[in-house]
């Protein structure tokens, strides 16, 4: 549970079956509809990733407490935030190689297919990508990270 001075108390009991890719979820109360949706979704995700501590209650991801087993939890999760930033001096190829270096398995065939589908040039510098292209690159890394966690 997380409390804000402008929001109601929120309790979430959520169970997502294994190997399911899920978008964000939210609870919408009366008042500032958009602000509540965005803040609640972001807050929930940040609590799951141990980027924010809940005011009360417990958080479990894969049965683990993210505060005590942060590396174990994060090694099995792929998260694409609203604003994506990469090292600006890297190309798309270097960025993908960087992410791949942290995994025992990385599917280069899937990577190539996704680069082609999104029409991303591996030689392009990430600093020159549009917001949409940065999000596409983040989705490629998230898909491949999640696949390596499931298959690894």
pLDDT (tens digit per residue) in 11-23: 555 555 555 444 4
d(CA 11, CA 37): 15
pLDDT at 63 over 80: yes
pLDDT at 98 over 60: yes
- Taking the CA atoms of residue 123, residue 21, residue 57 and residue 39 in that order, the dihedral angle to the nearest 10 degrees is 60
Q: How many CB atoms lie within 10 A of CB 149?
A: 16
pLDDT (tens digit per residue) in 69-96: 998 888 777 778 778 899 999 999 999 9
pLDDT score, position 76: 77
Q: Which residue has the higher pLDDT, 143 or 130?
A: 130
Mean pLDDT of the residues in the chain: 76
pLDDT (tens digit per residue) in 19-37: 544 444 433 344 443 333 4
pLDDT score, position 19: 53
pLDDT score, position 30: 40
pTM: 0.64
């Amino acid at each position: 549970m997380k409390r804000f001075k402008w929001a109601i108390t929120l309790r979430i009991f959520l169970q997502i079956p294994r190997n399911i890719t899920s978008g964000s979820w939210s609870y919408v109360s009366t008042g500032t509809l958009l602000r509540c949706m965005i803040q609640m979704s972001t807050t929930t995700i940040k609590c799951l990733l141990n980027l924010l501590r809940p005011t009360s209650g417990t958080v479990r991801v894969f049965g683990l407490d993210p505060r005590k087993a942060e590396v174990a939890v994060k090694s099995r999760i792929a998260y694409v935030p609203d604003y994506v930033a990469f090292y600006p001096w890297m190309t798309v190829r270097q960025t993908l190689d960087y992410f791949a270096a942290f995994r025992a398995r990385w599917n280069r065939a899937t990577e190539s297919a996704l680069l082609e589908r999104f029409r991303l040039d591996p030689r392009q510098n990430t600093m020159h990508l549009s917001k949409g292209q940065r999000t596409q690159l983040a989705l490629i890394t998230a898909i491949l990270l999640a696949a390596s966690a499931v298959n690894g």
